Structure 1
Amino acid sequence: MYKHILIPVALDHETLIDRKLENARHLLGDGGKITLMTVLENIPGFVSEFVTMKIDNHLTGKIEAKLREAAGGDDAISCAVVTGKPGVQIAQYAEEKGIDLIIVGSHHPSAQDYFLGSTAARVVRRAGCSVFVVRD
C-alpha cells in the first residue's frame, strides 16, 4: 500500500477525477494521504508583455477552490497549485514531497500523441516513483 499518492488534475479533463480518487483510496495504506495538484503553465514572455495582471496569482485561488470541490470536502485530501511545464513539475513535486505513487489520467493514444508525447507519458518517463495510468 502507498503512503502518499499524488493525483495531478487537468481541469479540462475533470471526468477522470472521480476514477483517480477511487483508485487512490483503494491503493492508499492506513494513515496515508492524497494530494490533488494542478500545474499552471507559464505565460510566454512575448504574451506576458501585454497582460496587465499576474495571471497565475489570479487563477491560483480559483483553481484551489476547484480542487477542494473535486476532493468532495474531504479534509484528508490536500491540494496544491504549481506553475511550470506539467510533465516536469509533476515529477519534481513528487520527488520533493516524498510521493510514492502518482495517478495520472490519459486518453487513448493516437499518432499525434506518439510524436508529440502526452503529459502522462512525460510523467512516466521522469517520475522516480510508481505511476498508475487511468485511461478515459
Structure 2
Amino acid sequence: MYKNILVPVSFEENRDSAGALEIAQAIRAEGGKMTVLHVMEAVPGYALTYVPEGFHSDMQKTVAEELAQMVEGIDGAEVQVVDGHSGRTIVDYAAENDIDCIVIASHRPGMQNLLLGSTATQVVRHAKCAVHVLR
C-alpha cells in the first residue's frame, strides 16, 4: 500500500481519469494522501496575441473546480493545478513532494509516440517512484 499517491489528470479523450482515481484509492494505505494534479501547458508564443487577458487564471480556476468535483467525497484527496511541461512537471512534482506511487491514465500508443513519446512514457522512464499505468 502507498502513503502518498499522485494522480495526474488530462482532459484529453481516451483518458480514464475516473479509473485512475479508483485504482489510487484501492492501493492507498489507510490514512494515505492522494494528490490529483493537472499540468497546464504554456500557450505557444505565436498564439498569445489571440488569448484574452485573464484567460490563464480563469482556466486554472475552472480546471481546479472540475478536479475538486472529481475528488468530492474522497478522504485525503487534494487538488493541484500547476504550469509546465506535462511529463517533466509530473516527475518533478513527484520528487519534490515525496510521492511513492503515480497512477496515470494513458492511451494506446500509436506511431507518433515512437517519435515523440507520450506523457505516460516519460513518467515511466524518469519517475523515481512506482508508476501504475492504466490503459
Aligned to 1:32: 32
Deviation at 1:75, TM superposition (A): 4.8
Q: Residues 31 and 124 from structure 1, CA distance in 2 versus in 1: closer, same or farther, beyond 3 angstroms?
A: same
How far off is 1:49 after superposition?
Answer: 3.7
| TM superposition shift of 1:33 | 0.8
Tell me the alpha carbon deviations over residues 49-73 of structure 1, each in whole angstroms, 9 at most, x when there is no partner: 4434143211111001100111134
The CA distance in 1 between the partners of 2:38 and 2:23, in whole Å, is: 18
Quote the Cα distance in structure 2 between the aligned partners of 1:18 and 1:79.
14
Q: Distance in 1 between matches of 2:62 and 2:14?
A: 15
1:21-100 to 2 correspondences below 5 Å:
21-100=21-100
Is residue 116 from structure 1 mapped to residue 96 from structure 2 by the alignment? Answer: no
* 2:106 corresponding residue in structure 1: 106
Cα 1:15–1:117 shift into 2, 3 Å: closer
Structure holding more helix per residue: 1
Moved more, 112-121 or 6-15: 6-15
Give unmatched runs, 5+ long, in structure 1: none
- Secondary structure of the residue that 1:21 maps to in structure 2? helix
The answer to which of 28-37 and 44-53 deviates more is: 44-53
Does the residue aligned with 1:98 lie in a helix, a strand or coil?
Answer: coil
- Distance across 2 between alignment mates of 1:71 and 1:15: 16
Q: TM-score, normalised by structure 1?
A: 0.90
TM-score (norm 2): 0.91
Cα 1:21–1:77 change in 2 (3 A) is same
* Alignment deviations for residues 59-94 of structure 1 (CA, whole Å, 9 cap, x no partner): 111001100111134352100000111001000111
SS in 1 for 2:4: strand
Gaps of at least 5 residues in structure 2 are none
